Amino acid sequence: MPSATTLDAPSIGERFRPPVPRPMRDQLGLLSFLKAARANPVTTWLSVHFEKPVVAAEGAMGRVTVVSDPTLIRYLYVENAANYRKDDLQRRVLAPGLGNGLLTAEGEEWKLQRRTLAPIFSARHVLSFAAPMNLAGARIARRLARRDGKEVDIGLEMTRVTLDVLERTIFTNGLASDPDALGRAITRFLESVGPIDPLDVFGVPGFVPRIGRFRARPAIRFFAEIVDELIARRRVLIDKGTAPADLLTLLLQAQDPETGKGLTDLEVKANIVTFIAAGHETTANALTWALYCLSQDPAARSRLEAEVDAVAGDDFDADALPFTKAVMEETMRLFPPVPFMSRTAIADDRIGRIKIPRGSLVMVAPYVLHRHSTLWDDPAAFVPDRFLGENRAAIPRFSYLPFGAGPRVCIGQSFSLQEAVTVLAHIVRATRFTLAADHPPVTPLHRVTLRPEHGLRMNAQSRAPTGA
């Protein structure tokens, strides 16, 4: 990793360190663990998890092995990935709402979907969406500039802009619902299913009712109605030969390159819901956290402002904004979109010197990995320079996993990063934000994704570009 001497700008004393829950020093008792895990799972990590490369212990979920060694993570996710499947807890939580799409499918079904959908997210297709992303970025920038001197709900605004991007790139004939209503439904769904249910921890069969899933039902029905209408409207246009060449059309027409088969209607629906709920939510949260970090780091904010102000014209090329991209990458290091990933061992195995019994849980937690004391210089600090030039090249591949790793790496990672960099550039060129004076501490809350626990209220100050 880059050494402290490599990363001495800004100086150690000037670095911004976002407040986060302190790691527990001692193992929690069962009831305390369940209570903390349901309230906010990031509060259950122990100090040892941030200090040791592998931690194996018996707990409420049986034997759990937490892996934070890049070499061993490579083994787990690449070299012996076939021995590890998505664990039942994740599937119980997500499948009722997201269906059996890429995020939750397993085995041959997942392989077919991945082969079929991979061409849709090729570099050529993602690059073609730069123009609509710029249009969405310009639109949110104008709206925020008009809020000069007023308080802004940043989380709500980032939800709006990421849904705007979805409309312009996936559903270019428009969503069948008010975007704000859709955003609220996504939030309700994640808040309902996010808290860990003790019944799931103890493996109680899925037919036994869960309070969270009961609360999520209205949002799930809402998703289903929207997706059914989107698909029906688009199939009519495809039959007429007038369908736009967006991601929805590509999805409906996609074929497995090996078998020539397309996706079933259920698979299409599941993946559309996944794109809406998971894809939009993670990018919105990343942008929210980035604006918070910039508001607390005047030097980084000024440097980013100078970079975007120097761009001529109204559009941004995400690849030509290295510091803006570094800000997004460092933000996702501190606040990874998905805080942990877990797998169940299909057969007995060994990870390093640790025995992995069949059926036990193996976890890689980006929230822990990205703050690990053996992997990062001053891991709690916000230092975008980590992701520039030689510093970026020196980061081991499997020590930074905002989008996962191995065969199941997020298929939309290039789309998401291009979107986030483009939108952030537009916002920063138009408006500067400061945290509301009466705001409580901004700490992360784990609800499937990672969001500010008390939201993010900020004061907007319109700014004029100085270099363009």
User: Which tens digit of pLDDT belongs to each residue from 377-390?
Assistant: 999 999 999 999 99
Residue 198: inside a domain, yes or no? yes
- Predicted local confidence at residue 39, as pLDDT: 79
Contact 441, 335 (CB under 8 A): no
Omega before residue 407 within 30° of 0, cis: no
456-367-330 Cα angle (round to 5): 65
Q: Which amino acid is at 7?
A: L
Q: Select the more confidently predicted residue: 9 or 114.
A: 114
Helix 298-309, helix 413-430: angle, nearest 10: 90
Rg (CA), the chain: 22
- Structure token digits, residue 208: 């036994």
Mean residue pLDDT of the chain comes to: 85
What's the helix, strand, coil split of the chain in %, to 5? 55, 10, 35
Whether the CB-CB separation of 140 and 164 falls below 8 Å is answered with yes
Quick one: which of 59, 55, 78 has its CA closest to 365? 55
Determine the pLDDT at residue 89.
66
Bridge partners (DSSP) of residue 451 are 445
Q: Between the ranges 245-249, 273-277, 299-303, where is the mean pLDDT highest?
A: 299-303
Beta strands in 181-257 (DSSP E): none
- 135 domain residue, yes or no: yes
Distance CA 302, CA 386 (A): 17
Angle made by CA atoms 328, 334, 339, in degrees to the nearest 5: 105
Q: What angle do CA 450, 452, 454 make, to 5 degrees?
A: 140
- Mode of pairing for the β-strands spanning 431-435 and 349-351: unpaired
Number of domains in the chain: 1
Checking if the pLDDT of 276 tops 70, the result is yes
355 bridge partner residues: 350
DSSP, collapsed to helix, strand or coil, labels residue 457 as strand
pLDDT for residue 195 is more than 60: no
Whether 1 is covered by a domain: the verdict is no
Q: CB of 370 within 8 A of CB of 395? A: no
The pLDDT value given to residue 6: 47
Q: Provide the token pair at 416.
A: 């998401």
pLDDT tens, 205-239?
A: 555 555 555 566 777 777 777 788 888 888 888 99
Structure tokens at 455: 């939201």
Q: Is residue 294 part of a domain?
A: yes
Check the CA dihedral 355-359-365-368 and report its sign.
Answer: negative
Kindly tell me if the per-residue pLDDT of 115 is higher than 50.
yes
Smallest CA-to-CA distance from 430 within 148, 131, 136 is with 148
Range of the domain at 37: 12-462
From the number of C-beta atoms within 10 Å of its C-beta (0-12, 13-18, 19+), residue 30 rates as: exposed
Which of the four pLDDT bands, split at 50, 70 and 90, describes residue 4?
very low
CATH number at residue 146: 1.10.630.10
| pLDDT score at 166 | 86
Q: How far apart are CA 25 and CA 43, in angstroms?
A: 11
Please state the rounded mean pLDDT for residues 70-92.
86
In a domain, 125, yes or no: yes
How does pLDDT run across 129-181, given as a tens digit for each residue? 999 999 999 999 999 999 999 999 999 999 999 989 988 888 776 666 666 77
As a whole number, mean pLDDT of residues 318-342 equals 95
pLDDT of residue 258 exceeding 50, the answer is yes
Do residues 303 and 324 make contact, with C-beta atoms less than 8 angstroms apart? no
- What pTM was estimated for this model as a whole? 0.87
The answer to whether the beta carbons of residues 85 and 344 sit under 8 Å apart is yes
Q: Is the pLDDT of residue 317 over 90?
A: yes
User: Which stretches of 266-323 are assigned E, i.e. beta strand?
Assistant: none
Please tell me the predicted confidence (pLDDT) of residue 467: 41
Spatial neighbors of 26 by CB under 8 A, at least 6 apart, are 46
The one-character DSSP state at 60 is: T
CA distances (Å), origin 94, targets 58, 61, 363: 25, 18, 17
Per-residue model confidence (pLDDT) at position 3: 41
The answer as to whether 355 is a domain residue is yes
Name the token pair of 239: 């039959």
| Phi, psi (degrees; rounded to nearest 5) at 194 | -65, -45
Helix (H) or strand (E) holding 200: helix 198-201
Q: Is residue 467 part of a domain?
A: no
For residue 309, pLDDT beyond 90: yes
Say which residue the tokens 């090329």 belong to.
317
Q: Does residue 7 surpass a pLDDT of 60?
A: no
For 351-380, give the DSSP string. ETTEEE-TT-EEEE-HHHHTT-TTTSSSTT
Residue 339 lies in a domain: yes
Beta-strand relationship, 354-356 and 361-364: unpaired
Q: Which of 424, 353, 378, 456 is nearest to 56 (CA)?
A: 353
Buried-state track 411-437, b at ≥16 Cβ within 10 A, e below 16: bbbbbbbbbbbbbbbbbbbbbbbebee
